């Protein structure tokens, strides 16, 4: 007889993986286009959560309105982030600058700077205490599925992550905007020469990616019931690991690796102390980098 304990751990792992995937999707989208890590993605996530919380405490709207509000804030934040941290480094459009590593790495630092400023600003405005979400809004009512207990949020997060993934794949492969995004990600200079508005494409990517980050933030806030300025850090790291394991620019790859991470963490808890379960995640990262330098799903050269 199969021990229901392992089924429960598997279910917890899947749900944990979903929460990582939710963040990894937007993260990977932005990386795929700019080929640079957006360190402020974790803060977009936090901003989304705070926007939702402020909305809830101000007007107590229905949950759909809360998520729409968070999406709007995410879009605005993505747009401003691009303006502030990325656009100034695209002033020079000659080939040498576009290929320059220094130019790319400077956006790595400028996005890190924005992330620090945003986090500290949130701390000044809201304080660094954890804030509770009103209980009516929480999405963690237990649901029993056979021998396994999950919560409503697990299904909502699964639905949202699946919708994001399918929606993005549709956008990227079936629409002109998606075609432009893929062209820019493949060869920004070439895309410019054939008449694609690269600036607009990059901004679009940021807005879409950040909306997803903000949605992830508010969902996690409602799922765990706590919102605080430093909440974006750990999921950011996990999403980063999932992205690297998945081959840096493959969105389905990042999602699958996020699930692998979640499951291996919860399964590892059975055999090693919970304090060591993070080691499993980072161990996987190291193994992937040694044996699959292009990531598990990064064999194809085409990005996004």
Partner 1 sequence: MTLRLLALTTLTAAGIAGSAFAADTVKLGYQLPLTGDTAQYGQDFRKAAEIALAEFNAAGKPFKVEIVFEDSRSDAKEGTNIARKFVDDKEIVGVLGDFTSGVSMAAAQVYKEAGMPQLSQTASHPDYAKISKYQFRNIATQAQEGPYNAKWMASKGFKNVAVIAEQTDWGQSVVGGFSDAVKANGGTVAFSEFFNRGLKDYRSLISKIERAKPDAIYTGFFYEDGAQFLRQLQQLGIKTPVYSTSAAYSPKLIELAGGAAEGVHLTSNFLPTDPSPNVQHFVDEWKKRSDGAVPGQFPAQAYDAVRIMLAAVEKASPAPTREKVRDALAQTKDFPGVTGKTTFNADREAEKELVKVEVKGGAFVPVAD
How many Å apart are CA 178 and CA 174, to the nearest integer? 7
In the list 234, 283, 287, 300, the residue contacting partner 1 (rule: CB under 8 A) is 234
User: What pairs with residue 151 in β-bridges?
Assistant: 142
Residue from 171, 230, 237, 285 that binds partner 1 (CB under 8 A)? 230
**Selected binder of partner 1 within 32, 52, 217, 225 (CB under 8 A):** 225
Answer for which of 59, 93, 175, 270 binds partner 1 (CB under 8 A) is 270
C-beta of 71 vs 220, nearer to partner 1: 220
**CB nearer to partner 1: pick between 37 and 227:** 227
Sort residue 281 into left (φ over 0), alpha (ψ -120 to 50) or beta.
alpha
The torsion angle over the Cα atoms of residues 231, 22, 159 and 157, rounded to 10 degrees, is: -20
Q: Give the integer Cα–Cα distance in Å for 70 and 74.
A: 6
Q: What's the min distance (Å) between Cβ of 265 and partner 1?
A: 7
User: In the bound complex, what is the minimum distance in angstroms from residue 15's beta carbon to partner 1?
Assistant: 8
- Residue 12 binds partner 1 (CB under 8 A): yes
One residue of 2, 94, 102, 135 binding partner 1 per CB under 8 A? 135
Segment near partner 1 (CB under 8 A), from 84-92, 188-196, 221-229, 291-299?
221-229
155 binds partner 1 (CB under 8 A): no
Indicate the residue among 205 and 266 with the shorter CB distance to partner 1: 266
Residues 113-132 that bind partner 1 (CB under 8 A): 120, 123, 127-130, 132
Sign of CA dihedral 292, 233, 39, 262: positive
Q: Which is nearer to partner 1, 179 or 226 (by Cβ)? A: 226
Handedness of CA 62, 205, 166, 180 (dihedral sign): positive
Contact 227, 131 (CB under 8 A): yes
Q: How far is Cα 202 from Cα 177, in angstroms, rounded to an integer? A: 11
Q: Find the binder of partner 1 among 224, 252, 285, 292 (CB under 8 A).
A: 224
Rg (CA), the chain: 19
Q: 68 φ, ψ to 5°? A: -60, -40
User: Which residue in 95, 83, 51 sits closest to 221, CA to CA?
Assistant: 51
Judged by the rule CB under 8 A, the positions of this chain that interact with partner 1 are 5, 8-9, 12-13, 16, 120, 123, 127-130, 132, 135, 140, 142, 149, 151, 224-226, 228, 230, 234, 265-266, 269-270, 273-275, 277-278
């Amino acid at each position: 007889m199969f021990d229901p304990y392992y089924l429960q751990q598997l279910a917890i792992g899947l749900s944990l993986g979903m929460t990582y995937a939710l963040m990894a999707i937007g993260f990977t989208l932005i990386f795929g286009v700019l080929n640079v890590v957006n360190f402020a993605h974790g803060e977009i996530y936090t901003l989304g959560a705070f926007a939702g919380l402020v909305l809830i405490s101000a007007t107590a709207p229905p949950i759909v309105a809360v998520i729409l509000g968070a999406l709007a804030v995410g879009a605005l934040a993505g747009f401003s982030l691009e303006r502030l941290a990325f656009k100034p480094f695209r002033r020079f459009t000659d080939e040498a600058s576009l290929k320059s590593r220094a130019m790319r790495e400077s956006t790595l630092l400028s996005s890190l700077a924005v992330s620090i400023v945003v986090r500290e600003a949130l701390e000044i405005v809201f304080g660094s205490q954890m804030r509770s979400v009103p209980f009516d809004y929480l999405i963690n009512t237990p649901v029993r599925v056979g021998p396994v207990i999950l919560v409503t949020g697990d299904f909502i997060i699964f639905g949202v992550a699946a919708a994001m993934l399918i929606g993005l794949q549709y956008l990227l492969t079936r629409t002109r905007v998606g075609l432009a995004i893929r062209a820019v990600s493949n060869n920004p200079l070439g895309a410019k020469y054939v008449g694609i508005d690269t600036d607009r494409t990059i901004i679009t990517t940021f807005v879409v990616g950040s909306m997803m980050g903000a949605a992830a933030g508010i969902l996690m806030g409602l799922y765990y019931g706590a919102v605080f300025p430093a909440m974006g850090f750990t999921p950011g790291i996990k999403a980063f690991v999932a992205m690297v394991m998945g081959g840096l620019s493959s969105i389905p790859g990042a999602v699958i690796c996020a699930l692998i991470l979640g499951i291996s963490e919860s399964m590892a808890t059975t055999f090693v102390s919970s304090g060591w379960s993070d080691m499993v995640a980072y161990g996987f990262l190291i193994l992937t980098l040694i044996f699959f330098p292009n990531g598990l799903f990064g064999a194809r050269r085409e990005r996004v």
